[in-house]
Amino acid sequence: MPESPADRPSDHQDVTPEAWSGVHRGPLREGEWVRLVDGKGRRHNIALEAGKRFFSNRGHVEHDEMIGREEGFTVTASTGGEYLVFRPLLSEFVVSMPRGAAVVYPKDAAQIVAMADIFPGADVVEAGVGSGALTCSLLRAVGPHGTVTSYERREEFADVARQNVRQFFGGDHPAWQLRLGDLAEELPASGARCDRIILDMLAPWECLDAAADALRPGGIVCAYVATTTQLSRFTETVRVHGGFTDPQAWESLVRDWHVEGLAVRPGHKMIGHTAFLVTARRMAPGQKAPMKKRRPAPGAYGADYTGPRPADVPLDLPPDVYVDEP
């Protein structure tokens, strides 16, 4: 007769530390972080310490009640309320960790990892590091045999990021270097080459030349920008540079669904906007990508347009007489 899951012996084997995953398995150990969620969805992240108590408006829970147990259980606080106990996932950690600057949300970090094609062993550069949320996803994706070099202009944000990344991975990830300074100055000075560059900052166009010089042919630049004006300026700057393929721009919207019996419908609330993403691939030195033969939408680059102007768009022709080059 097959064993019921409850009878199965516990698998005490932790994830190998050499993987630098930030994940543990097996019984909860002292020093580890756990997430307690009450019936109303309120979350508390705590580091387990023998002999300590966690206090809330529901009374207290002894840490000793949790240490040594397999995650995925409930504990009852001294006044009766129940808490669900799990180790936090990366997507949960980054939205609850201390913040210096706004973070890249998990839905967008997932898009960046997939669409900027972050791979094990890749050399990735990012700026700014902010609170280190995206850094954790990048490090996860490149693994211990890749590199992530993060630039940050503000020391106080770099300090917050260092603490967060260290906490998530349980130490100093061997693939990570955090550099204080402006990417536009520091990256060229370092002479480093890389496969992918992710720009999450107010003015990513100021870093485009540095990114283009550092990227290997076939590499990808990816910008994460909050507003349409930033999106436009970055995209047109990439076109004007000429050393990249025509940029792709998009945003992702994620909507939860309520699924209960016959009541299956979209959730009432969603995050309406986080940011836009733009990617383009680096051409080989001296090579130009054939830009799409396009007739700009009427007024796209008309008299009101003051941004960077792609080379194939004439300066003074009104849009209605614009003619594609043969």
Ligand X SMILES: C[S@@+](CC[C@H](N)C(=O)[O-])C[C@H]1O[C@@H](n2cnc3c(N)ncnc32)[C@H](O)[C@@H]1O
Could you list the residues that contact ligand X (CB under 6 A)? 101-104, 127-128, 130-134, 151-154, 157, 182-184, 200-202, 207
Q: Which is nearer to ligand X, 61 or 210 (CB)?
A: 210
Measure the CA–CA gap between 194 and 205, rounded to whole angstroms: 18
Q: How far is the CB of 235 from ligand X (least distance, A)?
A: 18
CB of residue 236 to ligand X, shortest distance in Å? 19
Quote the CA–CA distance of 128 and 134 in Å, as a whole number.
10
Cβ proximity to ligand X, 127 vs 222, nearer residue: 127
Helix (H) or strand (E) holding 45: strand 43-47
Measured from the CB atom, is 142 or 283 closer to ligand X? 142
CB of 188 to ligand X, least distance (A): 12
**Under 8 Å between Cβ of 276 and 231:** yes
CA distance readout (Å), 296 to 230, 236, 249, 262, 310: 19, 13, 16, 48, 11
| Residue 204: CB minimum distance to ligand X, A | 8
| CB nearer ligand X, residue 67 or residue 231 | 231
CB of 140 to ligand X, least distance (A): 13
| Least CB distance to ligand X at residue 128 (A) | 2
Residue type, 98: P
CB atoms within 10 A of CB 273: 10
Amino acid type, 230: Q
For residue 41, give every residue at least 6 positions away whose Cβ sits within 8 Å of its Cβ, in sequence order, or none: none
User: With respect to ligand X, which residue has the nearer C-beta, 43 or 99?
Assistant: 99
Please tell me whether residue 161 adopts helix, strand or coil conformation: helix
**For residues 88 and 310, which CB has a smaller minimum distance to ligand X in the complex?**
88
Rounded distance, CA 176 to CA 38, Å? 35
